[in-house]
Structure formats: C-alpha cells, structure tokens
C-alpha cells in the first residue's frame, strides 16, 4: 500500500512480506527468474520465519 499526495507523490509506503516458501518458489518460477540467484532469500524462509510487514515514512519523501 502506498500513500500518495497530489502533486507530491508517495509519502508513505508499506508492504507485507511473503513467508511461505512454496509460494515464493512458485512466483520465482512464474517470473522465469533464476532460482539460484535467490538462494539466500529462500533460505531465510526455509529455516524459519514469521509473518512480518514494514513501512517507510521519512522526511525525504516530503521534500
């Protein structure tokens, strides 16, 4: 989700990360990306993770 202001642009952005390994692998295959380039990211999910999200809000978005 992004918060946009007229004539300014994005002022806040947030997202929820995908934590399911099988879904990530399917998305990589669907996008025809080389799976070996993402081994480190997949390992983060393979060896345990929790649902998580984040957001960005900062002065540089308002300038």
Tokens of 19: 């934590």
d(CA 40, CA 24): 12
Tokens of 47: 């060896």
pLDDT at site 36:
96
Residues of the chain with pLDDT under 50: none
Give the start-to-end residue ranges of the domains of the chain: 2-61
Q: What's the pTM value of the predicted model, to 2 decimals?
A: 0.66
């Amino acid at each position: 989700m992004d918060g946009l202001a007229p004539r300014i642009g994005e002022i806040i952005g947030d997202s929820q990360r995908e934590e399911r390994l099988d879904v990530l692998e399917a998305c990589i295959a669907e996008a025809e990306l080389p799976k070996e380039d993402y081994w480190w990211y997949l390992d983060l999910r393979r060896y345990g993770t929790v649902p998580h999200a984040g957001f960005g809000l900062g002065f540089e978005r308002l300038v």
